[in-house]
Structure 1
Amino acid sequence: MSTVADKLAKKSTRKTGGKQVRLRLVYVDFWSAVKLSFLGAVALAIVTMVSFFLIYLVLQATALTQVDEFVASITDGSIQLSEVIGLPQVMAFAAVVSILNLIVFTVLGAVIAGIYNVAVKVTGGLLVGFMSN
């Protein structure tokens, strides 16, 4: 009695020639590139915020108290490093850096898409080949 698995096994034993397809990328949609670069920038912003938070926690646990005591001894206690570099200040700085990266990364994606669309008119596009087994 023949099952579906037996029929599929018989089909897979046959040797078929590989089929090759060549595609040419001649246009990148501007708004799709902007949306994709914006999503990449959002992911980068999240990574930036989390990394600033984790680095602050590690520094606070290991070296911030010793550096604070050293700075206080040099300045006769007029400057407290823990007041200047606290978690709210670090996270505010991380937010500013993330927002600037978000803007720059999105604009850069749009500019690159525009440059590619102009360059394709001269070069003819990017040739990509695929082959099936």
Structure 2
Amino acid sequence: MSTVADKLARKSSTNTSAKQVRLRLVYVDFWSAVKLCFLAAVAVAIATIVMFFLIYLVLQGTGLIAKMDDFFKSFSDGSVTLSQFVGLPQVMAFASIVAILNLIVITVMGAIVAGIYNLAVKITGGLLVGFTSN
């Protein structure tokens, strides 16, 4: 089986002092991929919660929420206000729900990708990776 990587390796076979190794990735451990994706999802969840909090602080500091509250009061005769629905506890609760859903989705997607890669390796032969020591 002659691939582009094989041809490039033969062309660049000049005298180098560094040792070159070509390895083929033929298996991704399922549980390792799940654990790694879970840790990445935790980082994304923390970033999501912090992002929601900072956006709320910016909107509150600029007075945009108060202006939108006045806008909604003009339509609803003052009975429904935006501040009832957009307070810090509500925003943080929504951010937590989004973060938990992202955590679940990212972890499951990582598991699915690892499984699909392990199935695709049987057809394609794996990913050829070249390493060198300098």
Is the TM value for this pair above 0.5?
Answer: yes
Give the corresponding residue for 1:65.
66
Q: Which moved more, 1:65-74 or 1:117-126?
A: 65-74
Alpha-carbon separation, structure 1, partners of 2:101 and 2:85 = 22
Alpha-carbon separation, structure 2, partners of 1:109 and 1:132 = 31
The alignment partner of 2:77 has SS state of coil
Higher-Rg structure is: 1
Alpha-carbon separation, structure 2, partners of 1:126 and 1:28 = 11
The alignment partner of 1:21 has SS state of strand
Displacement of 1:132 in angstroms is: 2.5
Instruction: Write out aligned runs for 1:107-122 (5 A).
Output: 107-122=108-123
The alignment partner of 1:61 has SS state of helix
Q: Which amino acid aligns with 1:78?
A: S
Give the corresponding residue for 1:127.
128
Deviations 1:71-111 (A, max 9, x none): 11221101111111111111111111111111111111111
Seq. identity, %: 71
Give the corresponding residue for 2:103.
102
Displacement of 1:131 in angstroms is: 2.0
Alpha-carbon separation, structure 1, partners of 2:108 and 2:71 = 43
Give the corresponding residue for 1:12.
none
Instruction: Write out aligned runs for 1:1-133 (5 A).
Output: 17-62=17-62, 63-133=64-134
Alpha-carbon separation, structure 2, partners of 1:45 and 1:18 = 42
The alignment partner of 2:78 has SS state of coil
The alignment partner of 1:23 has SS state of strand
List alignment gaps of at least 5 residues for structure 2.
1-15
The alignment partner of 2:23 has SS state of strand
Name segments (4+ residues, structure 1) moved above 2 Å.
none
Q: Tell me the TM-score normalized by structure 1.
A: 0.85
Displacement of 1:129 in angstroms is: 0.6
Give the corresponding residue for 1:5.
none
Alpha-carbon separation, structure 1, partners of 2:125 and 2:83 = 59
